[in-house]
Amino acid sequence: MLDKYGRRIDYLRVSVTDRCNLRCNYCMPPQGVKQLLREQVLTLEELEKLISAAVAAGVKRVRLTGGEPLVRKNLIHLISSINGLPGLEDISLTTNGILLAPIAKDLKESGLNRVNISLDTLMEHKYKEITRGGSLGRVFAGIESAMKFDLTPVKINVVVQRSFNLNEIIDFVMLTQNSPIHVRFIELMPIGYGSQLDKEFVSAEEMKQLISDRFNVVHEKVPGGGPADYYKVEGYQGTIGFINAISDHFCGDCNRLRLSADGKLRFCLQQEKFIDIKKPLRQGATKEELAHIFVEAAERKPKSYLYNGWSNSQNMNSIGG
């Protein structure tokens, strides 16, 4: 698929659930957010139909997100059902890692290629604080299992907040010394509850400077690296990357659409416009008709998002940022 600006749209992020087993402070308030009703959420069979239609339209890569995708029952069945679709080259998953270790082997055998794991601190007490109750040990067990069962490359996503984990950046870089892990530092985005944390924002340039003051880093090309700008500390096995969606957005290279848990097909993470693809799906639309809707969505992608400050009201848990 091509959009009207000539960008090839071949990547679909699919939120399989709005539910999560954590309550990270930049994602949602302490009391959580109002959850979708069961009938509002796409069934696994519906997700399979939509992903199949998307692949028929030209999607080559699918990433499963949430909420936390591993809380969705029978997720492995969904992966198995889309694995092998003609034209689909890659199936990946973004997870907080809490539930990963026991099912990493099954995920790999079902057809999952790789995982991204969200991890914002390496300190147990701070992890419990930011996630409001999570277990850091279970996350590291998930990382180890992902490496063991070849869900690689394993990418660690770190959302940087000035007063919370900026002082841990060097510790995260050290994770790449003896392991081929990709650590990616992400600028805090003004989405949902995160829009209240504008004073916590740290630019990618400031992060880079902190690291280059300590290490000799060189630019690195990472296949399938997505929007991240990658570097490598000389002599280290892994890499470090920076996702600067706010300070220097990468709209010119954007190749993705997003399918929310309730069937909203979004053109841009930073805009609230969408096509309701669930309605025609439940009215019996054919695969060809659904594929045409994906083509239409690609054509409606904006050239770039209009950033007007920290005011985006969307909830990240249901759109699968």
Per-residue pLDDT of the chain (321 residues; tens, 9 = 90+): 999 999 999 999 999 999 999 988 777 777 767 889 999 999 999 999 999 999 999 999 999 999 999 999 999 999 999 999 999 999 999 999 999 999 999 999 999 999 999 999 999 999 999 898 899 999 999 999 999 999 999 999 999 999 999 999 999 999 999 999 999 999 988 765 555 667 899 999 999 999 999 999 999 887 665 778 999 999 999 999 999 877 766 788 899 999 999 999 999 887 788 999 999 999 999 999 999 999 999 999 998 865 555 445 555 555 655
The two three-digit tokens of residue 96, written as one number: 């907080």
Q: Give residue 283's identity as a one-letter amino acid code.
A: Q
The count of other CB atoms within 10 Å of the CB of residue 295 is 17
Structural domains for the chain:
11-319 (3.20.20.70)
